[in-house]
Amino acid sequence: MQDTLQPGQILARGVCRHLRSHDFVTVEELVPAPGLRVDVMALGRRGEIWVVECKSSRVDFLSDAKWQGYLEWCDRFFWAVTADFPLDLLPEGTGVILADAYDAEILRTGPEQRLAPARRKAMVQKFARHAAIRLQALRDPKYGLPVEAPDI
């Protein structure tokens, strides 16, 4: 299965495994708003929401012009990178996770910027719907994975 995954998806798998050990549940490729798609969104048991962007190379990181748009959709923001990634490229004030296909390690936790209650409620609902749609698609391929509507 690893052969069919893209480099960012391999990192996401390790990140999701690690965050589960911290009692977070995760979904991949969630659309918080039109034009944005986060690699990993994590939901903690107290409702905290983290976004993790997986960058497999320097070029991948430098081509990402949208990452700051993700900050308003989470309590904490992280980059997930490989062990050979040049960490000095990553902006201060963001979290850093070293990851591979099997696990990860949080090197730096970025600052917490708590979401407003209405935004948190909307994001938890999006998270739940996204997870349910993914599960249904696994059980019934007829439905596939839909494109998220902006008002969901």
Max mean pLDDT among 8-12, 55-59, 119-123 falls in 119-123
Q: What percent of the chain has pLDDT over 70?
A: 92
Looking at residue 5, its pLDDT comes to 81
What are residue 97's phi and psi, to 5 degrees? -125, 130
pLDDT at 23 over 90: yes
Residue 152 lies in a domain: no
3-class SS of residue 136 = helix
> What is residue 123's DSSP assignment?
H
Whether 151 has a pLDDT exceeding 50, the answer reads no
Tell me the whole-structure pTM to 2 decimals. 0.89
Q: Which domain holds residue 88?
A: 2-142
Answer yes or no: are the C-beta atoms of 150 and 33 closer than 8 Å: yes
In a domain, 147, yes or no: no
| Average pLDDT of the residues in 108-126 | 96
Q: What percent of the chain has pLDDT over 90?
A: 78
Q: What is the CATH number of the domain that holds 109?
A: 3.40.1350
Whether 111 is covered by a domain: the verdict is yes
Place 145 in a pLDDT band, splitting at 50, 70 and 90.
low
